Amino acid sequence: MASKRILLICRKAPYGNALARAAADMALAAGAFDQELAIAFIGDGVWQTIDQQDSTDIQQKNHQKLLSAFELYGISESYVEAEALTERQIEPSRLSLAAKPVNQQQLSELFEQADMLLTV
Amino acid sequence: MEMIVDQQTILLDKEGFLKDLSQWNPQVAEQLANNEGIALSDDHWEIIDLLQQFYREFELSPAMRPLVKYVGQQLGDDKGKSIYLLALFPGSPAKFAAKIAGLPKPDNCL
């Protein structure tokens, strides 16, 4: 059976609740079991992808470090919403992840192509 | 569950992982390995050191597949094979090596 193409959509900021962490754990689990998974950061989810995160003072694990494990887990396809970066004045050069900026039109096409959408 | 190492009481969970990760030291590792029937050689220590490096880098205990890949990247393709890791840590290398290295149990581990 051909594996389903999963698109994981991350809409939450990296800290403040456990949802960003849960989504990343889901991605890593899919990677560990060799599932085909792409990940898209949209809206406030783009905050997950920026560099120089320091979570020491809130005693949380560093989300940037977690995302940097994606490559080892075979997750190489990731996208960020270009409009969300612009609205938040985040320069694409600040992304810690090799994520591809795509506009909302291109995102809709990615949604269409996926067999399964997971939104966190 | 608990074990005594060097007159110190070390608390373990029901699967034998350290409850307090800060209690890890090389003597504790020897005893944890002993519990799994493994006598630690230099080859074992090389993997244990690498796992601790992985944990510092990603704040995560690796599942088997990424562990194999990471070992391959860091120590060369000869060692980056599941059969090599299975020979050192029979049964479930990602789980047993994480346990002996004093890391949390890997999440995505059967």
CATH of the domain at B14: 3.30.1420.10
Chain B contacts of A32, Cβ < 8 Å? 63-66, 108
Q: Is the dihedral of CA A27, A31, A36, A39 positive or negative?
A: positive
What CA–CA distance (Å, rounded) separates B15 from B44? 20
The ipTM (two decimal places) reads 0.83
Number of domains in chain B: 2
Q: Which residue does chain B place closest to A69, by CA atoms?
A: B58
Residues B50 and B96 in one domain: yes
Structural domain including B7 reads: 2-36
- A5-119: CATH number: 3.40.1260.10
Q: Which of B90, B91, B97 is closest to B17 using CA atoms?
A: B97
**pLDDT tens across A18-46, in order?**
999 999 999 999 998 889 999 999 999 99
Cross-chain Cβ contact A34/B64 below 8 Å: no
pLDDT tens digit sequence for B41-66? 999 999 999 999 999 999 999 999 99
Q: Which chain A residues contact residue B69 at CB under 8 A?
A: 72
Q: Closest approach of chain A CAs to the CA of B94, in angstroms?
A: 12
Question: Residue B101 and residue B91: Cα distance in Å, rounded?
Answer: 16
Mutate which of A25, A73, A97 to disrupt the B interface (most B C-beta within 10 Å)?
A73
Please state the pTM of the whole predicted model: 0.88
Amino acid in position A34: D
Q: Which residues of B form the catalytic set? A: 109
Q: Which residues contact A6 (CB under 8 A, 6 or more apart)?
A: A30, A35, A36, A37, A38, A114, A115, A116, A117, A118
